[in-house]
Amino acid sequence: VPTSRDASGRLTFTGAPALPFVELVESTPAYVYDLDAIAAEARELKAAFEGEEHLVAYAVKANSAGPVVRTLAAEGCGADVVSGAELAVALGAGVAPDAVVYSGVAKRDDELDAALAAGERGILAIQIESVEEIDRVAARARAARRCARVSIRVNPAVERHALDTHDHIATGHDEAKFGVPRGDVAAALDLVQLHASRGELALVGLGCHVGSQFTSTDGYVDAARTLFGLARSALSRGAFADLRFLDTGGGFGIDYGEGCPPRPADFIKAVRKERAAAGLDALALLVEPGRSLVGAHGVLLSRVIQTKTTLAGGVPRRWLMIDAGMNDLMRPALYQAHHRIVPLVIQPREAVAVTDVAWRVVGPVCESSDDFGLHPLPETAPDHVALLDAGAYGFTMASRYNGRPAPAEIFLRGGAVVARSAAGDARAWVEERLRIASA
Ligand code: LLP
């Protein structure tokens, strides 16, 4: 059971269980999260600001579970949300409206209204992602009789190859749908300035978010440099007295097994240096990390249903069929991501002679992409396995494909279960599907 952590903060699964093992695996698939490790991750990141004003706006999309968002809120984190529902989770979990930013290329009017209605003056910032969006936000602000605080999310058009990550999660290049294109920022500033003069909008920030799972700080810092240049020209207009923060986005990578040399704090240190060089120390930094706060501190527990042996081109192949599928953890199917898989053992591993062989681990879903890849695992198939580093973009991306209910979630603090949610109900799914036919 995941009760101890190694030097890099990763959960380990060997050693005598401090928790009733059976209790944790009675309902699989189940996500298990270490709230202490998540809190420690937030503290380490915040320490990189060395006491200066800043905001760590946790990207709720990575893991929106109440206990996780509450834990991060208690550590002083704000939230980056991308829907009205995520906004409601953040506020409900105790994040102050003043610490919420709302990103997204296509926010509905009712979602903008909710952002404007929060607290005394709406959320900290609605992130403008297109010139076209500016009039829409101003119109909702007028209707709400409030001044909308906005930040312009710039697309800095970083060279695609400078963003060292998977194509599907690189967002700061000029073919992406995200952000105000660098060349349109001046026009966006003009329009915001016009609405500001009518008291409908106030420009409080400038930001960018250029992708996710960066394992080097280079692309991130490149983007920040471009952002800072744009911020200087915005400031030179002398028209934006409310401008308070620079948001360099999220994207700090974690080590999924192939290494990730920079720690999240290294990204902060690098952009603080860049901001000083740009002479912008008067503006506070805001960052939007999701994965790096939670990714390494959650695992997906799964039961082995059966094994199968086949010949693949004359070579024997061992398949390990588990009860977690691509609907529970979509990252391998969607991004060819590799999540390490370890057997759950009650005995310290050293105590038993184990020969590892290569198992191809797959789920029950009827798709070839329901495949977690090759993993060294004991020749005698284990009863249960844990898929590591599943704390971010695991449960939040789960689907009900093939009639599979949402997995259970279990939250640990101080080595004890402090919260849990039951797995979705397969019968409810059946009834829901059938009700359509008979309505
Ligand atoms: N801010 C914005 C505006 C974002 O779009 C994202 C992530 C973040 C912050 C947080 O990025 P992070 O620190 O987690 O890298 N499902 C993919 C990741 C998609 C990221 C989408 N945006 C995955 O499983 O790898």
372 CB-contact burial (10 Å; exposed 0-12 / middle 13-18 / buried 19+): buried
Terminal C-alpha separation, the chain: 46
Question: What is the enclosing helix (H) or strand (E) of 55?
Answer: strand 54-59
Cα of 211 from ligand 1 centre, angstroms: 7
Strands 298-312 and 201-207: what pairing? unpaired
Exposure on the CB side of residue 145, measured as CA atoms within 13 A: 0
* Structure token digits, residue 301: 């527990």
274 ligand 1 Cβ < 6 A = no
Q: Which atom of ligand 1 approaches the CA of 103 most closely?
A: 3
- What are the φ/ψ torsions at residue 313 (nearest 5 degrees)? 60, 40
Alpha helices (runs of H) in 160-281, residue ranges in sequence order: 185-197, 218-235, 264-277
Rounded Cα gap, residues 317 and 314, in angstroms? 9
The number of residues making up the chain comes to 439
250 ligand 1 Cβ < 6 A = yes
Shortest-distance Cα residue to atom 7 of ligand 1 = 212
Shortest-distance Cα residue to atom 19 of ligand 1 = 169
Cα of 329 from ligand 1 centre, angstroms: 16
Cα of 247 from ligand 1 centre, angstroms: 14
Shortest-distance Cα residue to atom 23 of ligand 1 = 393
Q: Provide the annotated active-site residues.
A: 366
Q: What is the pLDDT along the chain (439 residues), one digit of tens a residue?
A: 344 444 544 444 443 344 445 566 678 999 999 999 999 999 999 999 999 999 999 999 999 999 999 999 999 999 999 999 999 999 999 999 999 999 999 999 999 999 999 999 999 999 999 999 999 999 999 999 999 999 999 999 877 666 666 666 667 677 789 999 999 999 999 999 999 999 999 999 999 999 999 999 999 999 999 999 999 999 999 999 999 999 999 999 999 999 999 999 999 999 999 999 999 999 999 999 999 999 999 999 999 999 999 998 999 999 999 999 999 999 999 999 999 998 876 545 554 556 789 999 999 999 999 999 999 998 999 888 999 999 999 999 999 999 999 999 999 998 788 999 999 998 999 999 999 977 6
**Which of 61, 63, 177 best tests ligand 1's pocket when mutated (most atoms within 8 Å of CB)?**
61
127 ligand 1 Cβ < 6 A = no
**Which of 212, 300, 387 best tests ligand 1's pocket when mutated (most atoms within 8 Å of CB)?**
212
Rounded Cα gap, residues 404 and 400, in angstroms? 5
